[in-house]
A = this chain, B = another copy of it.
Amino acid sequence: MGASVALRSRHGLLLCLLQLVFIGLFAALAVYHPDADETRTVYHPDADETRTGHGDHETTSDGAAHSRIYPMFQDVHVMIFIGFGFLMTFLKRYGLSSVSVNFLVAGLVLEWAILVNGLFHLHHGKIQVDANSLLGADFTAAAVLISFGVVLGKTSPSQLIVMALLEVPIFVINEVIGRKYLMVTDMGDSMFVHAFGAYFGLAVSFVLYRKDSDSDNAGSSSNSDLFSMIGTLFLWCFWPSFNSALAVGDDQHRAVINTYLSLAASCVTTFAVSALFHRQGKFTMEHVQNATLAGGVAIGTAADMAVQPVGALIVGTIAGAISVVGFEKITPALAKHCRVHDTCGVHNLHGLPGVLAGVVGAVLAALATEEQYHSSLYVLFPAMAPASNSSSWEQLPPEWGVAAGSGRSAAAQGGMQMLALVISLIIGVLGGALTGLIMRLKCWDQLQTEDLFSDRRFFVVHCEDEPEVPRSGHTEEPDTRL
C-alpha cells in the first residue's frame, strides 16, 4: 500500500511539479513576439544575425507572417498528435497507451521546447513566442516521439518524462551546432530530427536492454493494424508540409514537389519489395505502415534543393527498399546480436532513411552552383554567399538582397553537411546512452515482464477487453478510485 502510494505519486507528482516549473519559467521569460502584440515596438532583426534554427526563421515584422505558415503548421500538428499517435497503436494490447502517452509526451515537449529553443534565441533576455515557436516546438516533439517509438511498451511514464526532459536540450544543442556553427541546411529536419531521434532512441534502448522484450503482447492484430494505418496515412499525406513549412517561394514549391514524388516512390517500392520478401507474395502491414513513409525522411535534407523530379523518385525508391530490408534483416539482427530492441522499427523508418537524407543533402550541396540556383543558392546555403570584402560580393546583383557570407565553396558546404550528419549521430548516440543510464534508475518505475506492451499497468482498462484471466496484483478493484 505504501508502495502503491509512492508509485502513484511518481509520474503524477512529477507532472504536477513540472507544470509548476513551466509556469514559473514562462512567467519569468516568455512574452509575445511583436507580431502578436500591439504594445511592443516592431522588431527589426539585426541584419547580421545568422539563422540558427527553426526558432528564428521568419523574424519579419509582417503581421501576416503567421497566417502564411498556419495551414502547414496545422498539418505538422496533426502529424505529431494523430500521425505519430496512431502509427504506434499497432500493438494489439497497447493501443490506449500508445496514443495517450504519445499525447502526453508531445504536450509536455511543446511547453518545454518553447522554453529551451527560446533560451537559445533570447531577445533582450526574453523568449519571444510566435507561430514559429509553436512550429519549432512541434518539430522538437517529433524527435522525442521518434525516440519514444524505439522503447514503446517497455518504459513507464516516469521514464518517458525523464527522457523527454533530457532529450529536448540535447536536441536543441545539436541543432544549434549544425545550423548556427556549421551553417548547414536540413529543410525537412532529416538529420536533426529523424536521424538524431532514431539513434538517440536506439541508444536508450541499448542501455535499457532486457531479455524479456519478446512478449506475446508485442504483436499486432488486424484491428490494431487498421488503427495504425490512420497514423501512417496522415503522416504520408502531410509530409510535404513537414518538409516545406519553413521554406519560401520557389524553394517551398520545390520542397512540396520533391516530397510528394519521393513519398509516391517509396509507397510503390515498399509494396513491391514487401511482396518479394514473402513466399506467397503477401504484403506485411509493418512495411506498409512504415516503409511507405521512408521517402519523406530520405528527401528531407534536400527537399528544397534542385534534385529534379527524377532525383526525388530515385531517393524515394531507394528509401522504401532499404526500409523494408531493414525490417526483414536489420531489426532482427540488432535485437539478436546488438542488444537493441526496436519496437516500432524506428531504425528503418527514421534511422537509415535519415542517414540517406544527410548523404543526399551533402552530395547535392557539393554540386550546387549559382547557375543552378541563382539567388536561391544563398538562401539555401548562406555561408556560400561571398564575404562582404570579396570581389564576387561586388558582382552580385543587388536586387537579390543577399546577406554576406563567408564565401564557402560548394565542396566545403558538402563536407559541412556530412559533418553535421556525423555529429548528429554521435550526439544522438551519446545523449541517448546517457539518458538511458538515468532512465535505468530504480526511482522511475521499471516495468515487470507481465506489463510489457500492455495497457493494464498504467491505464484503467475494462475486464471484458482482456482475454486473459486477471493476474494477481493487477486486478481492477472496484474501490481503487479515491
Q: Which residues of chain B have C-beta atoms less than 8 A from A36's C-beta?
A: 250, 253-254, 257
How many Å lie between the Cα of A81 and that of B71 in the bound state?
19
Q: State the copy count for this chain.
A: 3
The contact size tier of chain A is 35 or more
Contacts A111-B265, A277-B482 known; 14 new A-B pairs at CB < 8 A: A5-B279, A32-B308, A74-B241, A95-B222, A95-B226, A110-B264, A111-B261, A111-B264, A130-B257, A223-B465, A279-B480, A280-B480, A281-B458, A282-B459
Contact yes or no, A100 B229, CB < 8 A: yes
Quick check: is A50 within 8 A (CB to CB) of the other chain? no
Quick check: is A68 within 8 A (CB to CB) of the other chain? yes
Contact yes or no, B371 A39, CB < 8 A: yes
Quick check: is A411 within 8 A (CB to CB) of the other chain? no
Contact yes or no, B461 A222, CB < 8 A: yes
List residues of A (260-277) whose CB comes within 8 Å of B's CBs: 260-261, 263-265, 267-269, 271-277
Contact yes or no, B273 A12, CB < 8 A: yes
How many Å lie between the Cα of A154 and that of B461 in the bound state?
24
How many Å lie between the Cα of A193 and that of B77 in the bound state?
25
Contact yes or no, A22 B313, CB < 8 A: yes
How many Å lie between the Cα of A31 and that of B306 in the bound state?
10
Q: Which of A283-291, A357-365, A419-427, A433-441 contacts B (4 or more CB under 8 A)?
A: A283-291
Contact yes or no, B459 A281, CB < 8 A: no
| A residues whose Cβ falls under 8 Å from a Cβ of B | 4-5, 7-13, 15-16, 18-19, 22-23, 26-27, 30-33, 35-39, 63-64, 66-68, 70-72, 74-75, 77-78, 81-82, 85-86, 89, 95-96, 99-100, 103-104, 107-108, 110-111, 114, 129-131, 133-134, 157, 219-223, 225-227, 229-230, 233-234, 236-238, 240-241, 249-250, 252-254, 256-257, 260-261, 263-265, 267-269, 271-285, 288, 292, 306, 308-310, 313-314, 317, 328, 371-376, 455, 457-462, 464-465, 480-482
A74-B241, A374-B38 known; A267 vs B99 contact (CB < 8 Å): no
How many Å lie between the Cα of A11 and that of B274 in the bound state?
10
Q: Which residues of chain B have C-beta atoms less than 8 A from A275's C-beta?
A: 8, 11-12, 15, 157
Contact yes or no, B256 A4, CB < 8 A: no
A237: contacting residue among B78, B111, B264, B279, CB under 8 A: B78
A37: contacting residue among B5, B71, B250, B317, CB under 8 A: B250
How many Å lie between the Cα of A147 and that of B317 in the bound state?
27
A288: contacting residue among B68, B100, B461, CB under 8 A: B100
How many Å lie between the Cα of A225 and that of B227 in the bound state?
12
Contact yes or no, A38 B99, CB < 8 A: no
A233: contacting residue among B85, B110, B222, B268, CB under 8 A: B85
Tell me the minimal C-beta distance from A10 to chain B in angstroms: 6
A39: contacting residue among B256, B306, B328, CB under 8 A: B306
Q: Which residues of chain B have C-beta atoms less than 8 A from A30's C-beta?
A: 308-310
Tell me the minimal C-beta distance from A272 to chain B in angstroms: 3
Tell me the minimal C-beta distance from A448 to chain B in angstroms: 13
Contact yes or no, B39 A458, CB < 8 A: no
A283: contacting residue among B110, B459, B480, B482, CB under 8 A: B459
Contact yes or no, B256 A131, CB < 8 A: yes
Tell me the minimal C-beta distance from A223 to chain B in angstroms: 7
How many Å lie between the Cα of A310 and that of B241 in the bound state?
29
Contact yes or no, A39 B374, CB < 8 A: yes
Contact yes or no, B74 A238, CB < 8 A: yes
Contact yes or no, A229 B85, CB < 8 A: yes
A32-B308, A134-B256, A481-B328 known; A458 vs B283 contact (CB < 8 Å): yes
Contact yes or no, A285 B222, CB < 8 A: no
17 A–B contact pairs at CB < 8 A?
Answer: A8-B276, A11-B275, A19-B268, A37-B306, A38-B250, A38-B376, A39-B374, A66-B253, A74-B240, A78-B237, A96-B229, A103-B236, A107-B271, A108-B267, A111-B265, A279-B482, A284-B460
User: Which 4 pairs of residues, A with B, have the shortest CB-CB distance?
Assistant: A107-B267, A12-B275, A15-B272, A8-B281
